[in-house]
Structure 1
Amino acid sequence: MGARKSNAGQRPSARQMLAKELARLREESGKSLATLGEETTYDRAYLHKLETGARVGSPEVIAALSAVYGAGEQLLMLWQLAREDAFADKYKRFMQLEAKATVRYEHAVGAIPGLLQTEGYAREVFEATRARDENDLCEEIAARLGRQELLQREDAQHFRAVLDESVLRRRTRDPKEWTKQLEHLLEACQLPNVTLQVLPFDAGPHGLMGTSVTILWLPDGKAVAYTEDAHSGQLIEDPSEVEKLRLSYDLLRDLALSPRDSVAFIERLLEENKPCTPDST
Structure 2
Amino acid sequence: MSVGGERAEHAAEGADEPGWDVDPENDSAAVVAALGHQLKLWREAAGLRPAEFGAAIGYGENLIYKVESGKRIPRPEFLDKADEALGAGGKIAAMKKDIAEARYPKKVRDLAKLEAQAVELGAYGNHNLHGLLQTEEYAQALFEMRRPAYSQDHVERLVAARMARQSIFDRSPAPAFTFVQEEITLRRPIGGRMVLRKQLERLLEVGQLRNVEIQVMPTDLEDHAGMGGRIQVLKFSDGSVVGRSDDQSTSGLVSDPKEIRILELRYGIIRAQALTPRESLAFIEKVRGDT
TM range (shorter): 0.7 to 0.9
Q: Is the 8 A contact 1:105 1:160 kept in 2?
A: yes
Alpha-carbon deviations, 1:11-60, whole Å to 9, x = none? xx976445433442344333437974994369639x72x54556645xxx
Displacement of 1:91 in angstroms is 5.2
Q: What's the secondary structure of 1:265's corresponding residue?
A: helix
SS state at 2:252 partner = strand
Aligned residue among 174, 183, 197 for 1:165: 183
2:136 to 119, 134, 144: 119
Give the Cα separation in 1 of the matches to 2:173 and 2:201: 24
Q: 1:22 to 1:32 in 2, by over 3 A?
A: same
Residue 191 of structure 1: aligned partner: 209
How big is the shift at 1:211?
A: 1.5
Partner of 2:14: none
1:66 partnered with 2:85: no
Matching residue of 1:218: 236
Which residue pairs with 1:238 in the alignment? 256
1:177 is aligned to: 195
Q: 1:80 aligns with which of 91, 97, 101?
A: 97
Deviation at 1:76, TM superposition (A): 6.4
Residues 11-30 of structure 1: matches in 2 within 5 Å? 16-17=30-31, 19-29=33-43, 30=48
**Do 1:66 and 1:72's aligned partners in 2 also have CA atoms closer than 8 Å?**
no
Runs of 4+ residues over 3 Å off in structure 1: 13-19, 33-39, 41-45, 50-57, 71-96
Q: 1:163: Cα distance to partner?
A: 0.4
Structure 1 residues 228-248: Cα deviation after superposition (integer angstroms, max 9, x where no partner): 47xx83211101101101101
Tell which deviates more after alignment, 62-71 or 131-140. Answer: 62-71
Within 2, Cα distance between the matches of 1:248 and 1:25?
52
Distance 1:202 1:123 in 2: 30
Q: 1:14 to 1:173 in 2, by over 3 A?
A: closer
Q: Distance in 1 between matches of 2:264 and 2:31?
A: 40
Distance 1:98 1:54, change over 3 A: farther
2:165 maps to 1:151: no
Percent pairwise identity: 31
Shift of 1:151: 1.6
Deviations, residues 113-149 of structure 1 (Å, cap 9, x unaligned): 1111111011011112242333222221111111111
> 2:59 aligned to 21, 31, 40, which one?
40
Query: Does the 8 A contact of 1:212 with 1:228 survive in 2?
Result: yes
Cα distance between partner residues in 1 of 2:53 and 2:92: 20
Q: Which moved more, 1:258-267 or 1:122-131?
A: 122-131
- Look up the equivalent residue of 2:277 and give its one-letter code: P
| Cα deviation digits, residues 170-204 of structure 1 (max 9, x gap) | 11233222221111111101111110000000123
Contact 1:106/1:213, CA 8 A, preserved across alignment: yes
Counterpart CA distance in 2 for 1:242 and 1:185 is 28
Counterpart CA distance in 2 for 1:73 and 1:249 is 47
1:84 CA displacement = 4.1
Per-residue CA distance 1:144-167 (angstroms, 9 max, x = gap): 111111121212211000001111
When normalised by structure 2's length, the TM-score is 0.75
Aligned 8 A contact 1:151 1:158 in 2: no
Q: What TM-score results when the alignment is normalised by the length of structure 1?
A: 0.77
Q: What residue ranges of structure 2 are gaps of 5+ in the alignment?
A: 1-26
Alpha-carbon distance between aligned partners in 1 of 2:195 and 2:205, rounded to the nearest angstrom: 15
